[in-house]
């Protein structure tokens, strides 16, 4: 592994203008594209979000069809690969495609195969409106194929090409060094985790998860840190938070609403890394790469000076642009062919269970006394609305919209944003990554976040109503 400190001390006098340019130019472009808030129409967005919105508006009705085609290609090629593997064996197939990362996306196990076949059948049924209403309606499969997947399809066509501007040219090193003394004691995380949170906050939660996944696989986060950041710092965007509060009919309370979300979110970010299951994750780095992060700084150097030096060194080692573009394109195909079928399958199943079975109502019963103790009106309806947030982040707002009490609707709106872990998108992304988190752990994290944040939210609600 590179001895960053010794290299920094020896190379510092040799820095040239071109070295600073290698760090500054890509990083500034990355900040402008992915972190800088820009007024856009009646809301605030980032450059990538604005571009994504314009592409979605241009393609509009074509996106569900394109998504269905992608899912069908994923299914067909995977079935062919499965048939080939039966004839020559999985080990032979894997060895043949070890240097062909695109083809390796289709060499999967039985669970992924079933998921892709199910996703293809479900997306085809929803697109053609052929099949039972519980599957193809606008509250189940239609939400996933027509509303959620088109957004992800476009965002993840753009994001892999822009994210390297934040992660490959030194910005993470600079920010991580400057914020280390805050993030380590407060959140038990490297300072560079602030970039993941900002990218989520100003853009979209999946963007933060992708950054975290890439940083973990490059050796900059441990198992515990990656799991914590992905489930605690992948905050929803300001724009989406506004959509939630507007949908639930309390847009006039946006400022106290978002202030409450921030306070409750910080509280959860402080507590969650200190309790199981996150506290029990190992501090080992991703095995194939090992530790690449060097946070120690010389006592004679300021944090700014040392952080800038590490940033320039990182920019010097950045891959060539053809390599970056090739990796980005492989990431696009990885997300399209592996993640979209998973989201179609898991998301649709979760929504069908939420809409057409009493499972979530039964599971929410233990939350009723908890909400009654906090003085939340209509606790039974609120408990169900809060629990279905694990299926999809927008579901609590849908169920809570008809509740008469503004007090209760405020609690639901805040909680739906601070719960963070929802299986139709962020959860599926994490499960599809190499970050060591199971489905059961995700659900436990979801419950714990709810238990931690709702009392804070309820206290604010009592002050407002």
Residue by residue, pLDDT tens for the chain (465 residues) are: 444 444 444 445 468 899 999 999 999 999 898 878 788 887 667 788 889 889 999 998 899 999 999 999 999 999 988 888 777 665 666 566 555 677 778 878 788 899 999 999 999 999 999 999 999 998 889 988 998 888 889 888 988 899 889 888 989 888 888 888 888 888 888 888 888 777 776 556 777 888 889 899 989 899 999 999 999 887 776 667 877 887 788 878 888 898 899 899 999 999 999 999 999 999 999 988 888 876 666 767 788 888 899 899 989 999 999 999 998 998 899 889 988 998 899 888 888 988 899 988 899 999 999 999 999 999 999 999 999 889 878 788 877 877 899 999 999 999 999 998 888 778 888 988 899 999 999 999 999 999 999 999 999 999 998
Give me the pLDDT at residue 306, please.
85
Residue holding tokens 């992905």?
Answer: 230
DSSP state of 188: S
DSSP state of 274: G
Give me the pLDDT at residue 92, please.
63
Instruction: Report the alpha-carbon distance of residue 175 to residue 198 in Å, rounded.
Output: 11
Residue holding tokens 């938070």?
Answer: 241
Instruction: Report the alpha-carbon distance of residue 44 to residue 10 in Å, rounded.
Output: 44
Give me the pLDDT at residue 262, please.
87
**Nearest Cα to Cα of residue 202 among 39, 391, 336:** 39
Give me the pLDDT at residue 13, please.
44
Taking each helix axis from N to C end, the angle separating 149-162 and 321-334, rounded to the nearest 10 degrees, works out to 160
Give me the pLDDT at residue 322, please.
94
Give me the pLDDT at residue 2, please.
43
**Nearest Cα to Cα of residue 427 among 413, 417, 440:** 440
Tokens of 234: 């992948």
Element (H, E) at 157: helix 149-162
Give me the pLDDT at residue 96, please.
62
Give me the pLDDT at residue 10, please.
44
Q: For residue 195, what are the contacts with CB-CB under 8 A and spacing of at least 6?
A: 35, 166, 167, 171, 172, 175, 176, 211
Give me the pLDDT at residue 175, please.
86
Phi-psi region of 285 (alpha: psi -120 to 50; beta: other; left: phi over 0): beta
């Amino acid at each position: 592994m590179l001895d960053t400190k010794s290299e920094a001390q020896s190379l510092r006098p040799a820095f040239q203008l071109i070295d600073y340019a290698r760090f500054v130019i890509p990083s500034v472009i990355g900040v402008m594209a992915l972190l800088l808030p820009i007024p856009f129409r009646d809301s605030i967005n980032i450059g990538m979000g604005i571009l994504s919105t314009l592409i979605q508006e241009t393609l509009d009705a074509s996106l569900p069809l394109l998504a269905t085609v992608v899912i069908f290609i994923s299914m067909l090629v995977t079935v062919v690969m499965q048939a080939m593997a039966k004839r020559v064996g999985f080990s032979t197939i894997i060895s043949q495609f070890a240097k062909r990362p695109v083809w390796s996306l289709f060499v999967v196990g039985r669970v992924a195969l079933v998921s892709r076949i199910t996703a293809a059948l479900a997306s085809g049924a929803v697109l053609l409106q052929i099949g039972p209403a519980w599957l193809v309606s606008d509250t189940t499969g239609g939400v996933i194929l027509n509303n959620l997947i088109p957004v992800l399809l476009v965002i993840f066509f753009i994001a892999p090409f822009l994210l390297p501007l934040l992660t490959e040219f030194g910005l993470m090193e600079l920010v991580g060094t400057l914020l280390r003394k805050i993030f380590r004691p407060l959140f038990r995380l490297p300072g560079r985790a602030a970039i993941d949170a900002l990218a989520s906050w100003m853009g979209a939660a999946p963007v933060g998860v992708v950054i975290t996944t890439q940083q973990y696989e490059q050796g900059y986060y441990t198992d515990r840190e990656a799991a914590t950041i992905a489930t605690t710092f992948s905050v929803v965007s300001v724009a989406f938070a506004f959509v939630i509060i507007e949908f639930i009919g309390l847009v006039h309370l946006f400022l106290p609403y978002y202030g409450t979300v921030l306070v409750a979110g910080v509280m959860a970010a402080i507590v969650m890394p200190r309790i199981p299951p996150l506290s029990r994750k190992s501090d080992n780095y991703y095995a194939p790469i090992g530790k690449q992060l060097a946070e120690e700084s010389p006592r004679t150097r300021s944090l700014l000076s040392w952080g800038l030096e590490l940033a320039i060194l990182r920019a010097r080692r950045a891959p060539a642009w053809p390599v970056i573009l090739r990796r980005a394109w492989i990431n696009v195909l990885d997300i399209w062919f592996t993640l979209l079928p998973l989201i179609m399958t898991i998301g649709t199943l979760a929504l069908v269970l939420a809409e057409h079975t009493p499972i979530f109502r039964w599971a929410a019963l233990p939350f009723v006394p908890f909400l009654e103790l906090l003085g939340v009106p209509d606790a039974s309806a609120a408990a169900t609305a809060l629990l279905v947030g694990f299926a999809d982040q927008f579901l609590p707002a849908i169920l809570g919209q008809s509740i008469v009490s503004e007090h209760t609707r405020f609690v639901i709106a805040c909680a739906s944003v601070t719960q963070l872990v929802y299986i139709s998108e962020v959860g599926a992304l994490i499960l599809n990554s190499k970050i060591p988190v199971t489905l059961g752990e995700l659900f436990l994290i979801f419950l714990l976040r709810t238990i931690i944040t709702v009392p804070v939210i309820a206290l604010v609600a009592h002050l407002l109503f």
